[in-house]
Amino acid sequence: MSFMIAVGVAFFGCFILVPLALQVAKLFCLYAVVRERQCLVYELFGKVRWTQDEPGLHFPWTHMGPFAALVPFFGRRYEVDVRLDQTYLRSQPVNSEEGAPMGIGVWYEMFVSDPISFLYKNADPRGSLRANVSNATVRCLSNMKLERLLEERHAMSQTVREEVSQRSQEWGYKTGSVYVRKVHFRDERMIAQIEQKVVNRLRQVTGAIQQDGHNRVNVIRSAAERQAAGEFAKAAAMRPNIVGAALAKVARDKAMCDAMFDVLEVQQLLQSSELQVTLIPKEAGILAQLQAANATRPEPRWLRRQAGAKSPEAGGRWSGPGMCVR
Q: State the angle between helix axes of 188-251 and 254-271 in degrees (0 to 180), rounded to the nearest 10.
A: 120
Flag whether 320 is in a domain. Answer: yes
pLDDT of residue 285: 58
Per-residue confidence (pLDDT) for residue 66, from 0 to 100:
84
Task: Evaluate whether residue 223 is within a structural domain.
Answer: no
Q: In 3D, which of 95, 97, 88, 89 has the Cα closest to residue 185?
A: 95
* Mean pLDDT estimate for the chain: 78
Q: How many domains does the chain have?
A: 3
Whether residues 89 and 176 fall in one domain: yes
Of 186, 216, 247, the last residue of a domain is 186
Task: Report the distance separating Cα 175 and Cα 44, nearest Å.
Answer: 30
pLDDT at 111: 92
Give one DSSP letter per residue of 262-299, joined into a string. Answer: HHHHHHHHHH-SS--EEE--TT-HHHHHHHHHTSSSPP
Residue 237 forms part of a structural domain: no
Judge whether 263 lies within some domain: no
pLDDT digits over 234-254, tens only? 888 888 888 778 777 777 777
Q: Are residues 97 and 169 in the same domain?
A: yes
**Which one of 157, 186, 215 terminates a domain?**
186
> What is the domain range of residue 97?
85-186
Q: Is the dihedral of CA 238, 239, 242, 247 positive or negative?
A: negative
The residue ranges of the chain whose pLDDT is under 70 are 1-15, 17-19, 22, 25, 272-326
Same-domain status, 112 and 170: yes
**Predicted model pTM:** 0.51
Instruction: Express each pLDDT in 138-172 by its tens digit.
Output: 888 888 888 888 888 888 888 888 888 878 888 88
Q: Are strands 32-34 and 56-58 parallel, antiparallel or unpaired?
A: antiparallel
Give the pLDDT confidence score for residue 318 in this predicted structure: 43
